Amino acid sequence: MNYDYKKIEKKWQNYWHENQLFKTENENLKPKKYILDMFPYPSAYGLHVGHISGYTATDILSRYYRMKGFNVLHPFGWDAFGLPAEQFALKTGKDPEEFTKQNIETFKRQLIESGKGIDWSRELSTADPNYFKWTQWIFKKLYEHNLAEIKDIEVNWCEELGTVLANDEILIVDGMMVSERGNYPVYKKAMRQWVLKITEYADRLLDDLKLVDWPENLKEMQRNWIGKSTGAIINFDCLGSEISFDVFTTRPDTIYGATYCVLAPENPLVLDIVTSDEEESVRNYIITTKQKSDLERQTNKEKTGVFTGAYAINPVNNKEIPIWIADYVLPHYGTGAVMAVPAHDDRDNEFAIKYGLDIIEVIQGETDGAFTGDGVHYNSGIIDGLNNSEASEKIISYLEKIKKGYAKNNYKLRDWVFSRQRYWGEPFPVVFDENNNIYVLKDEELPLELPKMKNIKPSGTGESPLANAHTWLNIEYDGMKVRRDTNTMPQLAGSSWYYIGYILKEHLGMIPLNTEEAKKELKKWLPVDLYVGGTEHAVGHLLYSRFWHKFLYDLGIVDTKEPFLKLVNQGMILGPDNTKMSKSRGNVINPDDIIFEFGADTLRVYEMFMGPIEAEKAWSTEGVAGIKRFLDRMFRMYSFEIVDNVDELNMIHHQTIKKVTEDIEKMGYNTAVSALMVFVNEVYKVKKMSKKQARDFLKLLNPFAPHITEEINKEILKQHETLLYSEWPIYDEAYLVLDEVEVVVQVNGKLRARLSVANNTSKEELENIALNNENVSKHLEGLTIRKIVVIPNKLVNIVAN
């Protein structure tokens, strides 16, 4: 008695879809649960089994909470704008919009065939004008609140792709920057770009991490990326010049030990202060630095630099100190300049030793290299005899008095470079007049849509392909001749607020974001209760969406400070060879193949049984076949006699309810499946079940294997109510208390007896029972008992010689 999974699964998928059984109702009588997947970019390759793992994990929880009486929002959509579609279109000549829509159809089919229960009435795409109208509106508001501006900035430029790339779109190969897509060369280039001032929110982004239940390692990644440090700004004059520059330091107390200064090669002052003798080497070094990523510059152990020929004046003792440039100083961190104290900083120490620069100790401490700990200052003028914190306070006060410095917090976080030189993205809702004055489009003029273009190759001018859309580009606006922006927004724009878009999605469009109705709906559903996705978004999407959410909070549109309450990072599923799945290795597992050969329920249960959701796991075809056998066996179990009561199964029945309930709540799906397997084994021992046991088990298995359980429920148990909206089973504590337990008896560590005794028998009684056991007594003959160790309900160990 095996089940025809192909027929059964299609039957139930059609039933759910036709009856819209996953549609979320807008009612307030039930408590809410908002369970969200990180939505995918719809590539040409379709979903892989790694996607299915995370999507099944959230589907199980969504189904569970529906049965627990919650109003569940579990939507889905598409991160549809972006570089991959544009690159595919360039190679094939296809339209990126049509290509993306075709891919969405494939992804959607795969999701439905996997049994995932989605409210498709809320489906959205970031490339839908009804959606990106509001992405453009949010940008408008950022501009109106002085959080978006155009400025000249150093960016990562990829000539081959014809666009700026974000740091997380770059790889380091043989010490050089290349694009993640295509491995094309990337270099630093100054360009005029839109930037969003995420730095204005740095402290809130740090402080509010305490409000969310996220993995600690992910929180730490965000803290490090934001990189807050407390210190001081100190002003240094250049010798023989009216030029001066500021440095940021976290150790102002060490200023008397500063023996040189270092500027970032990109610092505009460099070419103003360099001497003629050093100019050629300085210019060559600047060119070399542009080929390196920020990460490589920060982590490269081999420190390099070039002397500018210029000198600075230390403001506290008027000593002349040389000015160098070095790639380990970044232009956007602090002021793009540092004072170097080689006696008390490891990096400065290495640099000073390499280039023969002075090392002056100003804090007492024993070490072979730089002493970076707390200590008493000496050789330090007004702060002699003070420890670090006292010295810092006093020197800052002195610098403020002589107008050469002040206390300051600093951040590694950079403003978000928001321009992309691409066609396939959200156009900026702005125009420029002949004098480059900016005019923002009116709300009623949104959305600004892309023009249809056959040729979307890069313009060759550093602008996007939109530079060739002359009719769209050059228009008359309010009686002026104006030009639209040829840049488009980055892919991260649309994904920064899509969790809000689901809530506001209606059949023909969206509830306008700037209405009271929108605020009411958002208050009902936010924050997201559970968000599941990969760690690769830690300092990209997750940081930017938190920034946009806080901005919308400031506008009064949302009333929660954070968008995602709980976050779970799913682990990667490796290939059968225990390596990352990739087409080049030929180890990619296509879920379509698994569903065809074994069924969707088997795929779902297997992926949950592989191990903890957060763990990295290797694929096993044998493991998949094992789960198929389990489901076949479970199906045959329903051919056993079903009666009014089966006392022998009462205890395992209620133990299973308790275990599965607790495991689903904490997403311990692998152990929940194990408990379900144990129950099946117990049923096979007695070859019968009670009606309640039979239906309760189906309810427990249903979130994992929804098709086969619904089929058994309707066609074998003849139940009219679907499991989907049935009531989750409740366990009875009375059946969880064991009447008897097995206690092992050892003599000198060797098993001598197994005792069946009353639960919670006292230590004294267990000793007596063990000592009176015939086999135990035999092995104690001629021996003197030295010690008896008793662990109630488990073990008696007798030590004798």
At residue 474, the 3 state secondary structure works out as strand
Q: How many helices (H) and strands (E) does the chain have?
A: 26, 33
Tell me, what amino acid is at 777?
S
CA torsion through residues 770, 771, 773, 775, sign: positive
Compute CA distances 258 → 157, 319, 380, 408, 584, whole Å: 36, 9, 11, 19, 53
Residue for token pair 């290797």: 618
Other CB atoms within 10 Å distance of the CB of residue 172: 14
Residue 583 annotated as part of some ligand binding site = yes
Other CB atoms within 10 Å distance of the CB of residue 639: 10
Q: If you ran DSSP here, which 8-state letter would residue 189 be given?
A: E
Compute CA distances 188 → 118, 264, 431, whole Å: 44, 13, 27
- 777, exposed or middle or buried, with CB in 10 Å at 0-12, 13-18, 19+? middle
Q: If you ran DSSP here, which 8-state letter would residue 784 be given?
A: -
At residue 179, the 3 state secondary structure works out as strand
Q: 750 has which bridge partners?
A: 747
Q: Please check whether residue 116 is in contact with residue 69, taking contact to mean a CB–CB distance below 8 angstroms.
A: no
| Torsion angle (degrees, nearest 10) of CA 303, 331, 291, 155 | 160
* Rounded distance between C-alpha atoms, residue 793 and residue 438, angstroms: 78
Give the helix ranges, DSSP H, for 329-379. 346-355
Tokens representing residue 112 in the block: 């439905």
Residue for token pair 């103003």: 272
- 276, exposed or middle or buried, with CB in 10 Å at 0-12, 13-18, 19+? exposed
Q: For residue 527, say if its preceding peptide bond is cis, omega within 30 degrees of 0.
A: yes
Tokens representing residue 20 in the block: 């819209």
* Rounded distance between C-alpha atoms, residue 721 and residue 709, angstroms: 12
Tokens representing residue 360 in the block: 């002056």
Binding residues for ATP: 583
Binding residues: 583
